[in-house]
Amino acid sequence: MTQTLLLTDPLFLRHDPGEEHPERPARLARILHLLETEPIHGTERRAPRPATEEELASVHTPRLRAYLQGLRGRHELVDPDTVTSPDSYDAAVLAAGASVQAVDEVLAGRSRNAFVLARPPGHHAEPDKAMGFCLFNNVAIAAEAARRQGAERVLILDWDVHHGNGTQAAFWTRRDVLYMSAHQYPYYPQTGAPFEVGEGPGAGYTVNCGLPAGGKDADYGALFQDLFLPVAEAFRPDLVLVSAGFDAHHRDPLGGMELTERGFGAMCTAMKTLADSTCGGRLVLLLEGGYSLEGLSRSVHTCVEVLAGEAKDSFPEGVSREAAAALQRSREALVRYWPGLGR
């Protein structure tokens, strides 16, 4: 069994929204260079396969799929933030397929865990709308693949600095997929308020905690300790997926948070420990945002070390008044669904 599978491909570098665009090929190139120059024992790099039409259709509407396929081979402005180049459609299909392949490998027991190093990212893509640098929603497609393979309960944790509106929309009324998000709030895309908890059968299965700008490692530690981990442990997932954005790093030019590489390592350690205790270690990380090349590459490297069993990180003690207030609002919105939060 491979300890940590890394799925990536040169095609991901050919998705090129433009030299001045934050989501540029250099992001992934820097990650791969660091992993080559500072290799981590227990990892295996492999090329992924494209997603099938059925896999894309598990999340996205025929209208969106046809629209995106029509952009193949073209430079196009999808929205003010989202730009395609001639290879972008094929890269997006491959990124979705890599996400499914990672789930396949982990659920089959061929890899203990995996990290999908792909672009474009996905968590802003809604079932019928591409937006926010994202074309297809990779983590949602991965969750649907897991459900088809028999995983009864799938957990998605999103630690990107921006709320994953697309993932939330995909599972808003579902209780078989639990979506949890730590993000800067208020901030793009203006979703992720604490009262957004899902509806119908899915009420309580969307867990949002938006922090004001300036959140530090200890603030995220409080979120995990007092909200995310208690809910996740009660949910008892069969698979853990992480929308791993690194734009909450203190160097990031877009985000306003103050996380360090060790903070990302602590979040990854917490999710690995959770997966070990609830679902045989079945854990998949999928790359989302992160726009400081140094902060992104170092933070990814730290998380891969954790996945491969080469490192563990823990959160520092303490929580700011502002983060504590945000955490309390989220707990109050969710305690009726997860009584353990009232303790």
What type of residue is 64? L
Task: Note the pLDDT of residue 136.
Answer: 99
Q: Which residue range(s) make up the domain with 306?
A: 2-342
Task: Note the pLDDT of residue 129.
Answer: 98
Task: Note the pLDDT of residue 74.
Answer: 97
Look up 41 and say whether it is catalytic: no
**What is the residue-wise DSSP string for 59-93?**
TS-HHHHHHHHTTTT--EEEETTEEE-TTHHHHHH
Q: With contact defined as beta carbons under 8 Å apart, do 37 and 29 qualify? A: no
CATH number at residue 67: 3.40.800.20
* Residues contacting residue 138 through CB under 8 Å, at least 6 positions apart: 95, 96, 98, 99, 116, 118, 121, 122, 123, 286
Pairing of β 154-158 and β 43-46: unpaired
- Full pLDDT tens readout for the chain, 343 residues: 899 999 999 999 999 999 999 999 999 999 999 999 999 999 999 999 999 999 999 999 999 999 999 999 999 999 999 999 999 999 999 999 999 999 999 999 999 999 999 999 999 999 999 999 999 999 999 999 999 999 999 999 999 999 999 999 999 999 999 999 999 999 999 999 999 999 999 999 999 999 999 999 999 999 999 999 999 999 999 999 999 999 999 999 999 999 999 999 999 999 999 999 999 999 999 999 999 999 999 999 999 999 999 999 999 999 999 999 999 999 999 999 999 998 7
d(CA 2, CA 155): 22
Domains held by the chain: number: 1
CA atoms within 13 A on the CB side of 333: 23
Q: Which one from 60, 124, 163, 249 is the annotated catalytic residue?
A: 124
Q: Tell me: the pLDDT tens digits for 194-238?
A: 999 999 999 999 999 999 999 999 999 999 999 999 999 999 999
Task: Note the pLDDT of residue 342.
Answer: 83
**What is the residue-wise DSSP string for 224-266?**
IIIIIHHHHHHH--SEEEEEE--TTBTT-SS----B-HHHHHH
